[in-house]
Structure 1
Amino acid sequence: MSMAGNLRKVTGLSKVGGLRKVARLTRRRPRVDLSHPARSPLGSSVVNCVTYQDGRRVPESDDVVDALKRVRKRGGGGFVWLGLHEPTAEEFTGIAELFALHPLAVEDAVEAHQRPKLERYDDTLFAVFKTVCYVEHEELTATSEVVDTGEIMLFVGHDFVITVRHGRHGSLGPLREELEANAEQLTQGPAAVLHAIADHVVDDYLSVIDSVQEDIDKVETDVFAEDGARADPGRIYQLKRELLELKRAVVPLSRPLEELATVPIRVVAPEIQAYFRDVSDHLLRAKEQLFSFDELLNSILQAHLAQVTVAQNEDMRKITAWAAIVAVPTMVCGVYGMNFEHMPELRWTFGYPLVLAVISVACVVLYRGFRRNGWL
């Protein structure tokens, strides 16, 4: 059974019906690019469909079926870039049949929540990137959200690239405009788009890491301040949780980028692979920073716990010192409170002042001794 037949069997929809749905979705009124956060979402998952020929955008109908036919009719030098945002399985059916996408890759693209990876299905490359966004906050608390994540999936073929975005960040609109301003880069075909998105995602990692570092510096300053023992340890744990979320996006991407940079792939020209090595170097820097942040947060947490322990010891010493001082009058008053008939100096006129004087001198001596030893 053919690839399209398998896909029809999985989705239960006909090929003709699916392709008509694709055409209907892409013919809707002026398309709004969801990659720009300020713009409103469309009624469908189709964000944009653009045709490029020899590195230039072709001002033609954005019907994906017609666009793909024209590109393949012209031969080499052109490709279609179809952008989607959180498509449903039903919406993706016709697109999957049109581009002969593998059902397993289609399922991953629709369901999302995937680890960064790279998979090859015949002449089609399927890549998953985790996008990250720094969440601005006035003050870091134990419940502050620091890092928000999303996903970008790419299907890359010889004459097409399909981007599937999940989440409300990971802007691709400005990136598309930047690529269109560099026709020479777009002449490299869909692989150039793959590289540009990978580079864009990794640059976002570095930007978010710089912002997270500011939060870590602020926590470090608070912990080592004069009253650092009173700092909220929940902020440190929150940063470690958010750092873990960031590591889940960054660390698994090493292997896919290494494969793109070193392993021969049909849809990635050798000259493009050199650029992936540069992206891989940037990712390595991001990983090193993340691991150093993790160690730094562990050190800050240990230092904070040590400060708390020292503060508690100091409090206990103060309590013990005052208890020792208070024990003197308590003991003397306890003896005289037993009301024996033959008490020392009981019938002497100056007996009461003498006892008070002895208590006062003993308390002062103890206080000065504890003060000299740093207990008070």
Structure 2
Amino acid sequence: MPLMHRLRSAARRRLRAVRATVDLSHPARSPLGSAVENCVVFEEGVRTPRDCSAAEALERVRKGDGRAFVWLGLHEPEPSELDALGALFGLHPLALQDAAGPHRRPRLMRYDDTLCAVFKTVRYVEHEQLTATSEVVDTGELIAFAGPDFVITVRHGGSGSLGPIREALEDVPEQLKLGPAAVLHALADFVVDEYEQVTDAVQDDIDLVESTVFSPGSGRVDPGHIYQLKRELLELKRAVAPLARPLLALADPLKPLPPVGPGLQPYFRDVADHLARTVDQLSSYDALLDSILQAHLAQVTVAQNEDMRKITAWAAIVAVPTMGCGVYGMNFEHMPELEWTYGYPLALSVMAAACFTVHRAFRRNGWL
């Protein structure tokens, strides 16, 4: 615990130093410039047309009547940019650590009156043919800070642009009137929709592998393909399943989390239901891949047994003339039919007839 206190104190001192040395009100001197993708102000659910810096937007929002908020979007900011972000919006030092990433799993944290939500974004990687090294699912991160009068989104990795989400929200001003929590819901809904799309795409790969394994005459399937698909499915499941608890917390009417109000809790509950359905699908796909792998291994075992039976049958057929040749190859003077004119053809005929009889017996029993 003392070490954690020292780390928090050092982070607070660093933020105070940033506040003292950086003029965040001037866009040209703001260290947020390189990471900022957009900075938008919404008043009464309507986007204001005038562009401005993050500091100007926040100042204008906080001088208003409390019915406006700013949405600031960043992509892979540097540590210095995160420091400036914390200094400008008054974010908790631990919240800045959350924005730095990477994280192992989605989560929801509350810092005073600010919520920090960590989402794992996913993207389906198109591929012509599934191999033992194919990348099927690409993951990224989306961190969202929702405060009383601001929303900050930080993207890392393969997560896509949030421009379409903002444009869709601008068409529904009644939703944006609910404040920053409306943006948080839109982000959660967008992420879960991506989960569903990627899950459906992965199902196509599973169906292809399944048809290849069970189709007659398709040849043997490389088990590495099945293992690779199972690994990619596990990565997708790690991104999807842990988000259930944060969504349920946002939808809980008994323990409301500001800035989420009662009007938005049913929407978060709906997103949680969609996520639960996706998690169930992934669990069923995982079980299906296990069954496909076991069936493939069973097919390999059966094929090996058939090969061994054929080899054994042919070895038994060859053993018949080998025994006759071995007997007549002994150097004894008194052996039957040694000096008979037709003794040699007779011996060959007897061996051929014996081989034919043994071959018919194996064919009749399904060994050949």
TM-score after normalising by structure 1: 0.91
- Partners of 2:350 and 2:26 in 1: how far apart? 99
Say whether the 8 Å CA contact 1:56–1:183 is kept in structure 2.
Answer: yes
Show CA shifts across 1:226-256 (max 9, x none): 1466111111101110011001111100000
Q: Aligned-pair distance for 1:27?
A: 9.6
Change (3 A) 1:146 1:114: same
Say whether the 8 Å CA contact 1:146–1:239 is kept in structure 2.
Answer: yes
Which amino acid in 1 is paired with 2:21? G
Change (3 A) 1:328 1:184: same
More moved, 320-329 vs 224-233: 224-233
1:45 partnered with 2:42? no
- Partners of 1:265 and 1:117 in 2: how far apart? 14
Aligned Cα root-mean-square deviation (Å): 2.0
Equivalent residue, structure 1, for 2:18: 14
Say whether the 8 Å CA contact 2:22–2:30 is kept in structure 1.
Answer: no
Say whether the 8 Å CA contact 2:24–2:30 is kept in structure 1.
Answer: no
SS of equivalent residue, structure 2 residue 264: helix
Show CA shifts across 1:349-369 (max 9, x none): 011001100110000001110
Name the % identity.
63
TM-score after normalising by structure 2: 0.93
Say whether the 8 Å CA contact 1:21–1:94 is kept in structure 2.
Answer: no
1:341 partnered with 2:333? yes
More moved, 357-366 vs 52-61: 52-61
Equivalent residue, structure 1, for 2:313: 321
Alignment of 1:1-376 (within 5 A): 7-10=11-14, 13-20=17-24, 23-24=27-28, 44-227=34-217, 230-262=220-252, 263-376=255-368
Aligned length: 360
Show CA shifts across 1:310-349 (max 9, x none): 0000000000000000001111111222222222211110
- Partners of 1:260 and 1:120 in 2: how far apart? 11
Which amino acid in 2 is paired with 1:246? L
More moved, 162-171 vs 148-157: 162-171
Say whether the 8 Å CA contact 1:27–1:62 is kept in structure 2.
Answer: no
- Partners of 1:168 and 1:149 in 2: how far apart? 6
Show CA shifts across 1:239-287 (max 9, x none): 1100110011111000000000003112111110110000000000000
- Partners of 2:123 and 2:275 in 1: how far apart? 16
- Partners of 1:5 and 1:366 in 2: how far apart? 89
- Partners of 2:30 and 2:191 in 1: how far apart? 27
Change (3 A) 1:303 1:166: same
More moved, 349-358 vs 13-22: 13-22
Which amino acid in 2 is paired with 1:241? R
Q: Aligned-pair distance for 1:168?
A: 3.1
Q: Aligned-pair distance for 1:371?
A: 0.4
- Partners of 1:328 and 1:187 in 2: how far apart? 93
Say whether the 8 Å CA contact 2:306–2:367 is kept in structure 1.
Answer: yes
Q: Aligned-pair distance for 1:158?
A: 0.7
Q: Aligned-pair distance for 1:7?
A: 3.8
Say whether the 8 Å CA contact 2:18–2:83 is kept in structure 1.
Answer: no
Question: Any unmatched runs of 5+ in structure 2?
Answer: none
